[in-house]
């Protein structure tokens, strides 16, 4: 784990392996360890980066609302700081990580060699979801991460995972409890104000892969399919038996899909 000063915030970043850059962006309110199985697999032949986003894991928090654009700026600065910008980045984001990937696409499309959108959506929040985020941001100040553990943990994995791989839930709970209340509130408010990115789907300038979970209660596979339909030339995969946390719940299947996509990309020589 390395620590880097990015936009004035002390970010913890797992950096492993050599080769083409591959950046994993975690969901809310988690940290880079959700990508443990992917870091182990892909650092064998890729230059893997998996940051704890500001406010999460062991990274510093920064100030103000953590907009999806702010997170995307952090990733671009991180890539620049490590000299990766010219090499072409594959960005792989799950859920909030996907919202961040859309903002990255808006501002830094030229840096992308491939885009992987997991268990996420391009649309902005419905009013009710937005209101819930405002309530969460207030409540987490008073009660701490327990509020999100209570609200989110039951929805993150499929029944099969809950039954057969309970350690996934333990790991998710540990990540959630490790987030600071400031980080959770800042990102909840940032997600609430994210813009609709649906119009971007038809303009994605690089190869794209969309991965859904068959039983995802938060980003249903039918919605993911509709999103994928709007992306020209996309690969779309639904992982059977998985919920929202596809990379953790079904690491073998997830890694096989991602590897096949990565192998289909033309390397950049610069």
By the criterion CB under 6 A, which residues form the site for ligand MLT?
A: 27-28, 95-96, 191, 218
Distance in Å, CB of 99 to ligand MLT, minimum: 7
| Closer CB to ligand MLT, 46 or 99, in the complex | 99
Cα–Cα distance, 237 to 192 (Å, whole number) = 28
Q: What is the distance between the alpha carbons of residues 239 and 224, in angstroms, rounded to a whole number?
A: 12
CB of 156 to ligand MLT, least distance (A): 7
Q: Which residues contact 77 (CB under 8 A, 6 or more apart)?
A: 6, 7
State in angstroms the smallest separation of the CB of 95 from ligand MLT. Answer: 3
Least distance (Å) between residue 147 CB and ligand MLT = 13
Sequence-distant (≥ 6) Cβ neighbours of residue 174 within 8 angstroms:
none
Q: For ligand MLT, which is the closer residue by CB, 96 or 189?
A: 96
User: Cβ 164 to ligand MLT, closest distance in Å?
Assistant: 21
Nearer to ligand MLT, 96 or 147 (CB): 96
Residue 106 CB, shortest distance to ligand MLT, in Å, is 18
Segment 35-39 long-range contacts (CB within 8 Å, at least 24 positions apart): 35/247, 36/248, 37/247, 37/248, 37/251, 37/254, 37/255, 38/92, 38/247, 38/251, 38/254, 38/255, 38/258, 39/14
- Rounded distance between C-alpha atoms, residue 203 and residue 76, angstroms: 20
Q: Between residues 185 and 191, which has the closer beta carbon with respect to ligand MLT? A: 191
- Report the first-to-last Cα separation within the chain, whole angstroms: 27
Ramachandran area for residue 134 (φ above 0: left; ψ -120 to 50: alpha; else beta): alpha
Angle at 247 between CA 122 and CA 227, to 5 degrees: 20
Q: Which is nearer to ligand MLT, 27 or 247 (CB)?
A: 27
Q: How far is the CB of 110 from ligand MLT (least distance, A)?
A: 26
Q: By C-beta, is 28 or 46 nearer to ligand MLT?
A: 28
CB of 11 or CB of 184, closer to ligand MLT: 184
């Amino acid at each position: 784990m390395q620590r880097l000063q990015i936009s004035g915030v002390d970010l913890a970043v797992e950096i492993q392996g050599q080769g083409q850059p591959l950046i994993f962006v975690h969901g809310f309110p988690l940290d880079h360890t959700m990508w443990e199985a992917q870091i182990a697999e892909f650092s064998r032949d890729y230059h893997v980066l998996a940051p704890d986003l500001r406010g999460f894991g062991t990274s510093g928090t920064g100030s103000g609302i953590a907009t999806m654009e702010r997170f995307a700026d952090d990733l671009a600065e991180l890539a620049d700081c490590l000299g990766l910008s010219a090499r072409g980045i594959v960005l792989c984001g799950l859920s909030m990580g996907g919202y961040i990937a859309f903002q990255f696409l808006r501002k830094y499309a030229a840096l992308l060699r491939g885009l992987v959108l997991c268990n996420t959506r391009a649309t902005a929040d419905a009013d009710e979801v937005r209101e819930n985020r405002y309530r969460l941001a207030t409540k987490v100040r008073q009660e701490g991460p327990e509020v999100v553990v209570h609200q989110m943990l039951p929805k993150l994995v499929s029944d099969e995972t809950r039954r057969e791989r309970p350690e996934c839930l333990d790991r998710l709970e540990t990540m959630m409890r490790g987030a600071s209340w400031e980080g959770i509130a800042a990102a909840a408010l940032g997600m609430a104000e994210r813009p609709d990115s649906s119009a971007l789907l038809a303009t994605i300038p690089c190869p794209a892969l969309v991965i859904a979970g068959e039983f995802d209660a938060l980003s249903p596979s039918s919605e993911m399919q509709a999103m994928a339909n709007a992306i020209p030339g996309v690969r779309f995969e639904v992982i059977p038996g998985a919920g929202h946390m596809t990379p953790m719940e079904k690491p073998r299947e997830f890694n096989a899909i991602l590897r096949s996509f990565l192998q289909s990309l033309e390397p950049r020589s610069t």
